[in-house]
A = this chain, B = another copy of it.
């Protein structure tokens, strides 16, 4: 299996559950955004056996820590994740509660002029809220 190595290299044991979650997350043409609840439903549809909710939480957090997933900073009662870990930004449709990727080319260059002593910039994330 193609994800076995990837997991081993990260220090994560390639368990059946993790490999199956990899399939659901990364075996897609396009990247996508999800909440744990949405992912849980997706897994139920695509996988025969049951994966417990706790395992889904554990796995998503483990993957996020390893850089295979990104958390999207957004004010919502649910945490949003993104399988697109490249540098990019988001629209957030407030009505539909849906995220839309903004390709890097869709946003002019960002120039952060201020510096904080002893700190370096890890990421710059833009959230563009949309209303009707």
Chain A residues engaging chain B, CB cutoff 8 angstroms = 71-75, 79, 91, 93-94, 100, 102-103, 105-114, 116, 118-132
CB atoms of B125 and A129 under 8 A apart: yes
Among A93, A102, A110, A118, chain B packs the most CB atoms within 10 A around the CB of A110
This protein's copies in its complex: 2
Do B126 and A130 touch across chains, with their CB atoms under 8 A apart? Answer: no
CB neighbours (8 Å) of A128 from chain B are 112, 121, 123-125
Q: Among B111, B120, B121, B130, point to the contact of A108 (Cβ < 8 A).
A: B111
Contact B120 A130 (CB under 8 A): yes
Note all chain B residues with C-beta closer than 8 A to A108.
109-113
Q: How far is the CB of A112 from chain B (nearest CB, A)?
A: 6
Residue from B105, B127, B132 within 8 A of A125 (CB atoms): B127
The answer, among B73, B102, B119, B131, for a CB contact under 8 Å with A122, is B131
